[in-house]
Every structure is written in structure tokens, then in C-alpha cells.
Homo-oligomer: A and B are copies of this chain.
Amino acid sequence: MSSARLAGTVRIVGAGLLGTSIGLALRKQGLDVVVDDLSPANQRLAVDYGAGRAPSTDDEVSLVVVCVPPDVTAKTVALELNANPHAVVTDVASVKSQILSQLAESSCDLSRYVGSHPMAGRERGGAISGRADLFFTRPWVIASNAASSIEAVELVEKLALDLGASPIRVDAQSHDRAVALVSHLPQLVSTLLAARLEHADARDVSLAGQGLRDTTRIAASDAALWLQILSANSERVLPLLEMFESDLATLIEALKDLAKPGALSVIGDLLKRGNSGVEQIPGKHGSQPKQYSRVVVMIDDRPGQLAKLLTEVGEIGVNLEDLKLEHSPGAQVGLPELYVLPEAEVRLVEALAQRGWRIVG
């Protein structure tokens, strides 16, 4: 029995990271999913993975999800609207206005089209990176057009909910302006920064801490895909890059002559503007993160130790809000970080210490 909001057959076109992940998640909900890909090898892989079945000639499709590269998305949406005259069609491309204007030039029935953009992804692409939980708790933009029917919008919203995502209704223009700032600008800045490492001395790079890793992580993303995304949204990214360039030029001028009156305050102001900017970002799931107290316990790096610790935490009666464990190759110990409500911290630390656990932070 299915607990899904959607019903009938869902057809996924394009078995890359997103298409495969959507298929995996919908199959887990017990839905009938058809997965189609121009590449027979990709399609077979997605089917083997459990993302759906191969299409057949008599499929009665209620919803089509187009998950192909941005530059062929509009064309594919038009094809699917015409081939499935009773189905609602959505896509998952990162830029929405260009697709909409391309579709407006076609003679398609746009009442059955609603654009989507799941704010989720990975640096690694392809069906083999697919994950059923990829969209879990992530924003899912629903960008309807002037012609979209209410039923079509609601159906795509059900898709988002069935995937565990949080649907957000935004028009295509506002969406594209937002992603230029929160996705495309960071991508380019990360790329420009990582490019400086290309021919760097390996010994210099070996001193890298977490800051360099975090700031350059997304620079590992698929270059071909990003070329398409940036092409489709260049007019919205450009002014942001130019404002960035202007701040950079001001910074360089100040650093060139630190003795000049005002130079230090220019740099200080910029650093503080960066502080303020970070504060604008809401917590991971859309609200300010709750502050938990952190208790670090040193355990032996052998099987069962962590389970024993957590069992005892349960016995002590403290609820774990979060848990982090970072593997340190070569270390003979593990340092699990337990996050608990602040009022429970002292009690937990005392009880664990009494039981012989070594608290290190």
C-alpha cells in the first residue's frame, strides 16, 4: 500500500543524479515509476538501482518529471506535453525564466506545465550518486507560469511533499534572481578561489585547514552543467559579480598602502560587512539553529564502544539532539561529539564521568 500523495504512473525523463534520486524516493513510496533516458546504459543502470521500470507503449502517465540538462529542458518539456496529453509536466532545471520564454514560443498547453527547482544536489553527478533522501527537508521551488492550472501546481506540490522536500512557491523571475545570489555567485567565487590552487606548491597546500576545504568544496562541481546554468542566467549573475569586483578593487587598493589614512578602516568595514552577511543566512532548515551544548567523549576506536556510550546516555535519560563523529585515520581513539539541551549538559557530563567515560570537551 502506498502512503504517497501522488497516484498513477510518474514518468521520469533523464536518469542522472536528480532523476534517479526522484525515482528511488518515489519507488520507496510504492508508486509506479517509469524512468527513461536517451542513453540505454544510463536507463538500465537507473532501473537496476531501483529508480523505476523501463517505459512501455501503454503507460498512462499522470506526471512527467523532466531531469535533463538545462539546454535541452524546454525542448523536452514541449515533447512530453505533446506526447502525454493528460499529464502534468515539470522539470528540475536550475534556471526557470529562459525555459519559460522558450516554451512560450512553442504551441504547447502550458496550463499543464509547472517548473520546479529542488535546492539539493551533490558535487558528484550521475545515476550512481542517486539517493532517495536527496531532497529530504530541502526547499523545492515551484515556479508556475501565468497559464498553469491550479491542479497542475498542486500536483507538483504533492511531488515535492512525497520526496520529503519543503515546497516554496516562487515565480520564475524571482527564483532566478535569488539563485544568482545564493547559488550561482558562490559557485563562481568558489571556482575562482580553487583555480588559484591549480599550480600551487603541494607543501603550501598541505597546510590547508577546514576553511579552504569549505570555501572550495563546490568548485568540484560538474563544469559542463554549470556552463549551461551560467549561460541561462548570465544577466542576473553579472551585476552581482561586478559588485563583488568593485569591493575587491577597493580591498586591493587598501591593502596596497596600509599606511594611508583610512586604509585599515576600509578593510575592517569589509570584514564586518562579511560578518553581517553571514548573519542573514537562516539555519540549515530555514530557521535560526537552536544552540545545543556539546559534550566530547574520548572512546577507544573499536567496535561496540560508541553503541555502549549511547546506550549509557539513554540510561542516564538524556536525549541526544545531534551527534557528530569524525574519523581520524591513525588515531587510536574516537571523539564523538554529543549535542544535548543546555540544561542537560552538567547532568550528562557528571553521570558519564562517574561511569568512567573520559570527557575531553
Binding site for B on A (CB under 8 A): 24, 28, 119-121, 131-133, 136-139, 141, 168, 170, 174-175, 177-179, 181-183, 185-198, 200-221, 223-224, 226-227, 230-231, 234, 237-238, 240-245, 247-249, 251-252, 255-256, 258, 264, 267-268, 270-282, 284-287, 290, 296, 302-304, 306-307, 310-311, 313-314, 317-331, 335-336, 339, 360-361
Known: A137-B331, A194-B274, A277-B196. A209 touches B234 (CB 8 A): no
Q: When the two chains form their complex, are residues A133 and B335 in contact, meaning their CB atoms are under 8 A apart?
A: yes
Q: When the two chains form their complex, are residues A248 and B247 in contact, meaning their CB atoms are under 8 A apart?
A: no
Contacts of A311 in B (CB 8 A): 304, 307, 311
Known: A136-B335, A207-B179, A286-B206. A248 touches B193 (CB 8 A): no
Give min CB distance, A240 to chain B, whole Å: 6
Q: When the two chains form their complex, are residues B234 and A255 in contact, meaning their CB atoms are under 8 A apart?
A: yes
**Oligomeric state, in number of copies?**
2
Give min CB distance, A229 to chain B, whole Å: 10
CA distance A330 to B175 in the complex (A): 25
Give min CB distance, A248 to chain B, whole Å: 6
Look across to chain B and name the residue whose beta carbon is closest to the beta carbon of A320: B306
Among B240, B319, B325, which residue has its beta carbon within 8 angstroms of that of A323? B325
Look across to chain B and name the residue whose beta carbon is closest to the beta carbon of A24: B361
CA distance A306 to B241 in the complex (A): 45
Q: When the two chains form their complex, are residues B244 and A245 in contact, meaning their CB atoms are under 8 A apart?
A: no
Contacts of A194 in B (CB 8 A): 273-275, 277-278
Give min CB distance, A231 to chain B, whole Å: 6
Look across to chain B and name the residue whose beta carbon is closest to the beta carbon of A179: B207
Give min CB distance, A123 to chain B, whole Å: 9
Contacts of A304 in B (CB 8 A): 311, 314
Among B215, B218, B247, which residue has its beta carbon within 8 angstroms of that of A218? B215
Q: When the two chains form their complex, are residues B212 and A281 in contact, meaning their CB atoms are under 8 A apart?
A: yes
Q: When the two chains form their complex, are residues B218 and A204 in contact, meaning their CB atoms are under 8 A apart?
A: no
Look across to chain B and name the residue whose beta carbon is closest to the beta carbon of A182: B208
Q: When the two chains form their complex, are residues B310 and A321 in contact, meaning their CB atoms are under 8 A apart?
A: no
Known: A207-B119, A326-B322, A327-B322. A360 touches B28 (CB 8 A): yes
Contacts of A287 in B (CB 8 A): 329
Give min CB distance, A317 to chain B, whole Å: 8
Q: When the two chains form their complex, are residues B133 and A360 in contact, meaning their CB atoms are under 8 A apart?
A: yes
Q: When the two chains form their complex, are residues B192 and A189 in contact, meaning their CB atoms are under 8 A apart?
A: yes
Q: When the two chains form their complex, are residues A241 and B237 in contact, meaning their CB atoms are under 8 A apart?
A: no
Contacts of A313 in B (CB 8 A): 307
30 CB contacts below 8 A, A to B, read A119-B209, A132-B361, A133-B361, A174-B204, A181-B197, A185-B193, A189-B193, A189-B215, A192-B248, A192-B270, A193-B274, A194-B278, A195-B270, A195-B276, A208-B281, A208-B282, A210-B284, A216-B274, A217-B278, A226-B271, A227-B271, A230-B255, A231-B258, A231-B267, A234-B256, A238-B255, A285-B328, A307-B307, A307-B311, A323-B336
Contacts of A197 in B (CB 8 A): 181, 277-278, 280-281
Among B179, B223, B282, B319, which residue has its beta carbon within 8 angstroms of that of A303? B319
CA distance A238 to B252 in the complex (A): 7
CA distance A327 to B338 in the complex (A): 12
Contacts of A212 in B (CB 8 A): 182-183, 186, 281
Q: When the two chains form their complex, are residues A325 and B322 in contact, meaning their CB atoms are under 8 A apart?
A: yes
Give min CB distance, A315 to chain B, whole Å: 9
Q: When the two chains form their complex, are residues B193 and A328 in contact, meaning their CB atoms are under 8 A apart?
A: no
